Homo-oligomer: A and B are copies of this chain.
Amino acid sequence: MTTPPTVDDLAATLDALRARVPLVQSLTNIVSANFLTNVLLAAGASNAHIDNAHEAGDFARIAGGVLVNLGTPDDGTAAAFTRAAEAAHEAGTPWVLDPVGVGGLAWRTSLAADLLHHRPTAIRGNASEIIALAGLGGDTRGVDSADEAAAAVPAALALLDRAQAVSASGPVDHLVGRDRDGAIVGLRIAGGSAMLPRVTSTGCSLGGLVAAYLAVAATPLIGVATAHAHVAVAAEIAEENSSGPGSFAVAYLDALYAVDADTLRARARLEPLDLPTEDTK
């Protein structure tokens, strides 16, 4: 008998975020840096963007959580990624790998492979990135978009050798990790909005929010699930209050700020995810 995260687990974790205001260290791309920070501030965390190799390692030892996002790496930030990941792993700071573009681009795919050695606490990506990162076949063309997150579940399970929780974003997000007894469990989180892919950095900023929730959650999977649910509920609310991608982005930040534990209890849409038996033994 396994025990996937419940909506009460998530509500308690959101309350913990608001009470403790964890400090995230983000190493993210130049497209998302501003929006990601605003997402963290709106949700109830704080953020410092320390992405130079001189300082990234030291800061990762004192941060509440660290995000390493491969969106726009250069030689300088790539060195900082390694320092931050290494220091986070050594110091026990939870850290998140967001493997943007892995699979399609050779250099960053090699960076991601190196970073896996420092054992990210969580990995968040879209389906093709999760599949590529797991090395289960790089050609994800032809994956139907409605099914894509589901298609990444075997890859996500394979990555549990390296990380404690893995999520694949899509119209319905798919998450895998371990329950409090160490058993592998899965979770689907529905909701969100068709407007999310029309606003850049909604995915990258979810990665930052995962890092924030890892700092306060009882288990990595609960942390990842709370971030996904917070975002999905906020996006639903934002869609009701907007008339296009510009006003959606504004309403989304307002909604991330407004969503509280009661909102999450009322609106979060969690479903258990049946896992292939051979993977859950």
Q: Which chain A residues have a beta carbon within 8 Å of chain B's beta carbons? A: 29-35, 37-38, 41-42, 47-52, 54-55, 58-59, 71-77, 101, 105-108, 197-201, 243-247, 249-255, 257-258
Chain B residues contacting A37 (CB-CB under 8 Å) are: 31, 200-201
Check B247–A55 contact: CB distance below 8 A: no
Provide the bound-state CA to CA distance between A48 and B72, in Å.
Answer: 9
A41 adjacent to B253 (CB under 8 Å): no
* List of 4 A-B pairs having minimum Cβ-Cβ separation, nearest first: A246-B253, A244-B254, A54-B107, A37-B200
Q: How far is the CA of A34 from the CA of B77 in the complex (A)?
A: 19
Task: Select one of B41, B58, B108, B200 contacting A199, CB under 8 A.
Answer: B41
Task: Tell me, in angstroms, the Cα distance from A29 to B41 when the chains sit together.
Answer: 17
Shortest Cβ distance from A254 into B: residue: B244
- Could you say which residues of chain B place their CB within 8 Å of the CB of A199? 38, 41
Cα A20 to Cα B72 with chains together (Å) = 25
B58 close to A105 (CB less than 8 A): yes
A69 → B minimal CB distance (Å): 12
